[in-house]
Structure 1
Amino acid sequence: MQDEPPVVVLRLGHRPGRDERMTTHVGLTARALGADRLVLEDAAAGRKETVTDITDRFGGPFEVEVTDRPLGRLRSWDGAIAHLTMYGQPVQDREDEIRTAHRDEPLLVVVGAEKVPFEVYERADFNVGVTNQPHSEIAALAVFLDRLFEGRELDRTWEDAEKRVVPKAAGKRVVDLDDEA
């Protein structure tokens, strides 16, 4: 988020034909809830366009990268690494430590699509779970980012937006910001 070291979400794995919506929603969740960047594997390169389009229309900043070496990104990361896994320690028991680490250095948040290599568990500074029950990686990322930012991401200012959602008790309204100018 703005004025803090970056938070980068690494989507590790992508099963074509099965994970298109899941990977897209990982990206949209990362963007909406305060991450600065999403890194996708080559197999998920098609999801970049969708997330970039949302960023262009509803504001940023938010970047999407594609890499042919996702584990290389993990290995070369200069900062703290949090791996979201239902097998990890409860996030509520580690969130203060994660927040403290993030004050001083960038944070890489690893979100797997399938079984991740054991190396991810070994390289992570924090293997955390939002629950130790089967659940969605999208839900895990949302809860994790909300706890990391302590709700500040909900009041984020969006730059260069073309559109804005107007909150309503019922119905929907999206305004074109060019029309408001």
Structure 2
Amino acid sequence: MQEEPEVVVLRLGHRPGRDERMTTHVGLTARALGADKLVLEDVASGRKETVTDITDRFGGPFEVEVTDEVMGRIRSWDGPIVHLTMYGEPVQKVEDEIRAAHREGALLVVVGAEKIPFEVYEHADFNVGVTNQPHSEIAALAVFLDRLFEGRELDREWEDADQVVVPQEAGKKVVDPDELDNPSEL
């Protein structure tokens, strides 16, 4: 997030025909809740266009990268690695330690799609669960990022947006930022 060391979300795994929406929503959640970058496996490269389109329309900065070496990325990461898994330590018990590690440098957050190789558990500095009950990787990422940023991501300012959502009690309102009389109404 702005003015802090980078947070990179790595989507590990993608089952074509099954995970398109899930992988897209991992990217949109990462972007909306404070991450700086999404790394996708090459098999999920089609999701890059969707997330990039949202970033172009609603503002950034946010970057999407496609690689054929996701495990190599994990092995060579120079900084703390958080693996989100329902089998991990409760987020509320390790969030302070993770925040401290993040202040020292970039953080890699691994979000799986299918069975995760045991090597990921071994490389991770933190195997973190937001609950030990079955849930989605999107929910895990959202809860984790909110805990990491302590809610600051909810007030983030977006650069170069072509569209903004105007909060209101009922209905939907999306406008060009230049149409706003008072930008503080957001």
Task: Name the TM tier (shorter chain).
Answer: over 0.9
CA–CA distance in 2 between the matches of 1:125 and 1:31?
23
Match for 1:18: what amino acid? R
| 1:73-107, Cα deviation, whole Å (9 max, x unpaired) | 00110110000000001000000000000001100
What does residue 6 of structure 1 align with?
Answer: 6
What does residue 38 of structure 1 align with?
Answer: 38
CA drift of 1:180 comes to 5.2
CA–CA distance in 1 between the matches of 2:175 and 2:130?
35
Matching of residue 103 in structure 1 with residue 103 in structure 2: yes
CA–CA distance in 1 between the matches of 2:116 and 2:56?
31
> Aligned residue pairs: how many?
181
Query: Residues 167 and 180 from structure 1, CA distance in 2 versus in 1: closer, same or farther, beyond 3 angstroms?
Result: closer
Match for 2:171: what amino acid? G
CA–CA distance in 2 between the matches of 1:106 and 1:118?
23
Stretches of structure 1 lacking an aligned partner (at least 5 in a row): none
CA drift of 1:116 comes to 0.6
What does residue 132 of structure 1 align with?
Answer: 132
CA–CA distance in 2 between the matches of 1:4 and 1:60?
15
1:168 counterpart SS class: coil
Once the two structures are superposed, the pairs formed by residues 67-146 of structure 1 within 5 Å of their partners are: 67-146=67-146
1:97 counterpart SS class: helix
CA–CA distance in 1 between the matches of 2:13 and 2:69?
11
| 1:117-137, Cα deviation, whole Å (9 max, x unpaired) | 000000000000000011000
1:157 counterpart SS class: coil
Counting aligned pairs with the same residue, the percent is: 83
Question: What RMSD, in angstroms, separates the aligned Cα atoms of the two structures?
Answer: 1.0
CA drift of 1:176 comes to 1.6
CA–CA distance in 1 between the matches of 2:179 and 2:135?
41
What does residue 59 of structure 2 align with?
Answer: 59
What does residue 149 of structure 1 align with?
Answer: 149
CA–CA distance in 1 between the matches of 2:19 and 2:152?
29
Q: With the length of structure 2 as denominator, give the TM-score of the two structures.
A: 0.96
CA–CA distance in 1 between the matches of 2:126 and 2:180?
45
| 1:34-91, Cα deviation, whole Å (9 max, x unpaired) | 0000000011000000000000000000000000010000011011000000000100
1:135 counterpart SS class: coil
1:121 counterpart SS class: helix
**Structure 1 stretches (4+) deviating beyond 6 angstroms?**
none
CA drift of 1:177 comes to 2.5
Once the two structures are superposed, the pairs formed by residues 13-32 of structure 1 within 5 Å of their partners are: 13-32=13-32
CA–CA distance in 2 between the matches of 1:129 and 1:139?
11
CA drift of 1:167 comes to 0.1
CA–CA distance in 2 between the matches of 1:68 and 1:62?
20
CA–CA distance in 1 between the matches of 2:68 and 2:179?
41
